[in-house]
Each structure stands twice: as structure tokens, then as C-alpha cells.
């Protein structure tokens, strides 16, 4: 049976953080109820359309999925079990924010099969949390983390951020010390990106340009410091037993996030909820982003319809596009890609397509080829945008 990943998008937040540009917002109780009902409809519909697949991982992301009432989350997961065969070994993750979870909620999560908790901490410094517009303090996080452990979750991820305004090496060190001291199974370390349309953009857009141009900055770390923050994270986490397996993901041995790897390895996945992306049979698609339109379209879902009326865009990848993705996604992982996998997937030799690029990047010490394995060097990871762009083919 073909295995797929399932992504469930919950766009609700108690309050939107100042740097966040994800598809999320503050909605009332009635919207949560309506959305849950639509989501269940979409899940059941997806199950009818995708016969004979098995779900090998589920990721409930947001927004803040933990902000949703436990009762609704239970309805959603019930729909999943009704619609799909979920493998017993499936990794089922949910994103939680400190302060939005109670013992009862965690108990429900356990009961409905969720086995991995991802907690958004970002920083152990309360002043930084305030600056980011987070709703919690570090103590609040500790409480949530302990609660998760007590409720029997043995696979926990903690998110941290580097490159924050005013962040120093000492401040980041304090966060890294605090987090690694808790021994979570997995740590995601993202670099702050100042995105258009966020309050951060209004505050720091000029600084972001200056940072990128290597000039002195006012609030954000300058380029040198940003680089050091990033390298320190890599270094400290690796010293403490967290192996980097992808640009921003670190895990203790054998505890990598399976769902994440589906993206990098281009395995099929179905995304449900507003704006959710799917990759099915080399078709990349994404759902409508407008929540009202989403609710409306879900009402009209009928089995046997074209797959899927909720899609806002759907593109069948050409062979070249699939090759490009294979490379620029695969090389995000520290293990890189296997030469034989490329050959198996595309029926041709990788050298024939990317010989020149591989040679150039090797010459620049950004890439290594070891036996059948091709992967980015540490320098290549530092300059991954530069290196990965090389794998885009001429149209």
C-alpha cells in the first residue's frame, strides 16, 4: 500500500506574533466550530479520493493547533481514522504553544493517538519573548514542557530562533543551555526572517536590508554576529548530542522528525485546511487561503468530484522540475541525496544533468561526493541558497 503523509492546518491563534507571516489569525469560537466541521468534511473526502493509501505520519501545524478546543481536535482525529488507514507506527505531531495546553488537553491528545509534541519556545529570555510578541514567559514554557512529559509524551521538539533583534551570543547561549538542559528529543532552530506584511517588517525592514548588505545595523544583529549566532547554534547543539539533519533541524539519534523528511525526500503528502500544500503523483497543489471560501467549498464536496475542488492551484511537475526539486530539497538534508535514487527516479545519470553544477560546487568546496552520496559541506550549508539555486535548470 502506498504511504502518504498528512498535514492538517489549524489557523487559529490566541494572538498573532509580531514576526509571523503564516496563514493564521484570531477567530471566535463559532469559527473554530465551523472550521472543524469543514476540516472533517475535507478529510473524509480525501479518504474517499485516495483509496488504498496508508498514512505514515501526521503533522498538525498552524497557527496554534493547541489553541483549538480538545473536543474539536478529537473530532478531527476521529475523521482521520475514519477516512484513512493510519499505520500503528505513524508519527503524529502537534504544535503547541506554552500556556494554551492543560493536563486534560494533553490527555485527550494521548487518547487520540498524538505521540509527538512540538512546543514553540523561541527564546528562554523573557525580554526577547516580549519583543517577539509571544503570549508566554519562559516559566510558562517550563510548565507546559513538564506537563507534556508528565502526560507521557516521549517525543518532544522545542523551537528556538536565532538572529533576533538585540540578540547577543550570551543571550542565545542562555537559551541553548536552558533548552538542551531539558533534553528534548528534537530542536528546531530557525533564523528570523523579516517578512513583508508583519509588524516586524515595519520595524526592521531597513535593518534587514542593511544586514544583508553587510552594513552596520541598528536592531538586528549585524551580518557577522548573525553568522556567529547561527554557527554557535550548530556547534553547541552538536556538542550536546543533537545531530543536524537538515538546515534548521536537530535531533538526538534516531529521533528525527519523520514528517519533515517526507518534504525533503519528495514523498507524497496530502495537506488539509486553508492554504495547505499537497504533493500527490508529482502534482503540487495548495488549498484556497480564504477561510470563508474554504468553508463554502467544503460544503459542496461530493465524492467522485475532480481532485480536489479545494485546490487553489495545482501544477503537474515536469520531469525537469521534479529533478530540480529532488536536488534542492534533498540537499537541504545533511545526508544529501543518493546518486542511485536519482537514477531510479528519473532513469538517467545525474552527471548527465548536473555534471557541470556538481563540478562547480565541488570546486567551490560547497559540495562533496562520497561514493554514491552527494551532500553539501558545512560551507555549502552556510551558503545553501547560493548552492541550491544552481540546480535550477534552464527553461
Partner 1 sequence: MAVDQSKIRNFCIVAHIDHGKSTLADRIIEMTGLLTSREMQSQVLDNMDLERERGITIKSQAVRIIYKAKDGEEYIFNLIDTPGHVDFNYEVSRSLAACDGAILVVDAAQGIEAQTLANVYLALDHDLEVLPVINKIDLPSAEPQRVKDEIEDVIGLEAQDAPLISAKTGLNVEEVLEQIVTRLPAPDGDPKSELQALIFDSLYDAYKGVIVFCRIKEGTLRAGDEVQMMATGATADVVEVGYFGAGQFIPCDELSAGMVGYMTASIKNVKDTRVGDTITHRKKPCAKPLPGYKKVNPMVYCGLYPTDGAKYPDLRDALEKLQLNDAALQFEPETSVALGFGFRCGFLGLLHLEIIQERLEREYNLDLVTTAPGVVYRVYKTDGTMIELTNPSNLPDPSEIDYMEEPVVEAEIMVTSEYIGAIMDLCQERRGTYISMEYMEETRALIKYVLPLNEIIYDFFDALKSRSRGYASFDYEMKGYVKSDLVKLDILINKEEVDALSFIVFSGTAYERGRKMCEKLKEEIPRHLFEIPIQAAVGSKVIARETVKAMRKDVLAKCYGGDITRKKKLLEKQKEGKKRMRQVGNVEIPQEAFMSVLKLDED
> Which chain residues interact with partner 1 by CB under 8 A?
7, 9, 59, 61, 188-191, 193, 214, 223, 226-227, 230, 247-248, 260, 262-263, 269, 271, 275-279, 284, 286, 324-325, 328-329, 364, 366, 381-386, 388-390, 392
Q: Cα(355)–Cα(204) distance, rounded to whole angstroms?
A: 41
Cis peptide before 237 (omega within 30 of 0): no
Q: Give the helix ranges, DSSP H, for 244-318.
A: 258-264, 291-299
Q: How far is the CB of 163 from partner 1 (least distance, A)?
A: 9
Residue closer to partner 1 by CB (options 227, 292) is 227
If one counts every other C-beta atom within 10 angstroms of the C-beta of residue 93, the result is 24
Cβ distance 131 to 160 under 8 Å? no
Q: How far is the CB of 59 from partner 1 (least distance, A)?
A: 8
Q: Cα(198)–Cα(19) distance, rounded to whole angstroms?
A: 6
Residue closer to partner 1 by CB (options 44, 329) is 329
Residue closer to partner 1 by CB (options 147, 272) is 272
Tell me if residue 212 falls in helix, strand or coil: helix
Residue closer to partner 1 by CB (options 126, 364) is 364
Residue closer to partner 1 by CB (options 82, 313) is 313
The residues near 369 (Cβ < 8 Å, ≥ 6 apart) are 358, 362
Q: How far is the CB of 191 from partner 1 (least distance, A)?
A: 4
Residue 355 burial by CB count (10 A; 0-12/13-18/19+): exposed, middle or buried?
A: exposed
Q: How far is the CB of 107 from partner 1 (least distance, A)?
A: 27
Q: How far is the CB of 35 from partner 1 (least distance, A)?
A: 17
Q: How far is the CB of 143 from partner 1 (least distance, A)?
A: 26
| 48 alpha-carbon distance from chain centroid | 27
Residue closer to partner 1 by CB (options 181, 209) is 209
**332 to each of 122, 223, 260, 304, 324, how far by Cα in Å?**
22, 22, 11, 37, 13
* Torsion sign over Cα 120, 10, 58, 114: positive
Supply φ then ψ for residue 230, to 5 degrees. Answer: -65, -45
Residue closer to partner 1 by CB (options 83, 388) is 388
Q: How far is the CB of 48 from partner 1 (least distance, A)?
A: 22
User: What are the beta bridge partners of residue 287?
Assistant: 311
Residue closer to partner 1 by CB (options 40, 247) is 247
Query: How many angstroms separate the first and last alpha carbons of the chain?
Result: 35
Q: How far is the CB of 276 from partner 1 (least distance, A)?
A: 7
Residue closer to partner 1 by CB (options 70, 94) is 94
Q: How far is the CB of 30 from partner 1 (least distance, A)?
A: 26
**Radius of gyration from C-alpha coordinates of the chain:** 21
If one counts every other C-beta atom within 10 angstroms of the C-beta of residue 82, the result is 11
Q: Cα(98)–Cα(200) distance, rounded to whole angstroms?
A: 22
Cis peptide before 330 (omega within 30 of 0): no
Q: Cα(9)–Cα(51) distance, rounded to whole angstroms?
A: 22
Amino acid at each position: 500500500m502506498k504511504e502518504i503523509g498528512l498535514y492538517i492546518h489549524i489557523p487559529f491563534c490566541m494572538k498573532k506574533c509580531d514576526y509571523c507571516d503564516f496563514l493564521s489569525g484570531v477567530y471566535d469560537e463559532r469559527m473554530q466550530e465551523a472550521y472543524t466541521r469543514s476540516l472533517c468534511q475535507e478529510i473524509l473526502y480525501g479518504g474517499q479520493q485516495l483509496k488504498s493509501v496508508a498514512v505514515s505520519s501526521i503533522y498538525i501545524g498552524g497557527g496554534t493547533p493547541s489553541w483549538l478546543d480538545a473536543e474539536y481536535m478529537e473530532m478531527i482525529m476521529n475523521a482521520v481514522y475514519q477516512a484513512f488507514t493510519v499505520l500503528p507506527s505513524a508519527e503524529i505531531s502537534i504544535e503547541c504553544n506554552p500556556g494554551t495546553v492543560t493536563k486534560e488537553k494533553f490527555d485527550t491528545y494521548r487518547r487520540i493517538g498524538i505521540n509527538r509534541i512540538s512546543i514553540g519556545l523561541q527564546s528562554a529570555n523573557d525580554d526577547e519573548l516580549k519583543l517577539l510578541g509571544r503570549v508566554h514567559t519562559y516559566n510558562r514554557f517550563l510548565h507546559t514542557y513538564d506537563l507534556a512529559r508528565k502526560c507521557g509524551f516521549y517525543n518532544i521538539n522545542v523551537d528556538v530562533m536565532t538572529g533576533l533583534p538585540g540578540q547577543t551570543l550570551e543571550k542565545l547561549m542562555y537559551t541553548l543551555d536552558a533548552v538542551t538542559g531539558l533534553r528534548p528529543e528534537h530542536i528546531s532552530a530557525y533564523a528570523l526572517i523579516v517578512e513583508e506584511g508583519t509588524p516586524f517588517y515595519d520595524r526592521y525592514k531597513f535593518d534587514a536590508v542593511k544586514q544583508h548588505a553587510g552594513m552596520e545595523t541598528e536592531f538586528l544583529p549585524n551580518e557577522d554576529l548573525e553568522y556567529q549566532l547561527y554557527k554557535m547554534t550548530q556547534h553547541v547543539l552538536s556538542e550536546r548530542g543533537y545531530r543536524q539533519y537538515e538546515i534548521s533541524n536537530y535531533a538526538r539519534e534516531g529521533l528525527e522528525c519523520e514528517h519533515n523528511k517526507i518534504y525533503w525526500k519528495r514523498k507524497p503528502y496530502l495537506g488539509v485546511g486553508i492554504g495547505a500544500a499537497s504533493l500527490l503523483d508529482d502534482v503540487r497543489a495548495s488549498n484556497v487561503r480564504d477561510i470563508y471560501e474554504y468553508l463554502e467549498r467544503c460544503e459542496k464536496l461530493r465524492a467522485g468530484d475532480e481532485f480536489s475542488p479545494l485546490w487553489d492551484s495545482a501544477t503537474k511537475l515536469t520531469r525537469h522540475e521534479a529533478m530540480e526539486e529532488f536536488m534542492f530539497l534533498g540537499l537541504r538534508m545533511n545526508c544529501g541525496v543518493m546518486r542511485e535514487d536519482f537514477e531510479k527516479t528519473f532513469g538517467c545519470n545525474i552527471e548527465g544533468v548536473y555534471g557541470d553544477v556538481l563540478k562547480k560546487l565541488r570546486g567551490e568546496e560547497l559540495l562533496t561526493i562520497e561514493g554514491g552520496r552527494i551532500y553539501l559541506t558545512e560551507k555549502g550549508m552556510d551558503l545553501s541558497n547560493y548552492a541550491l539555486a544552481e540546480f535550477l535548470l534552464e527553461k
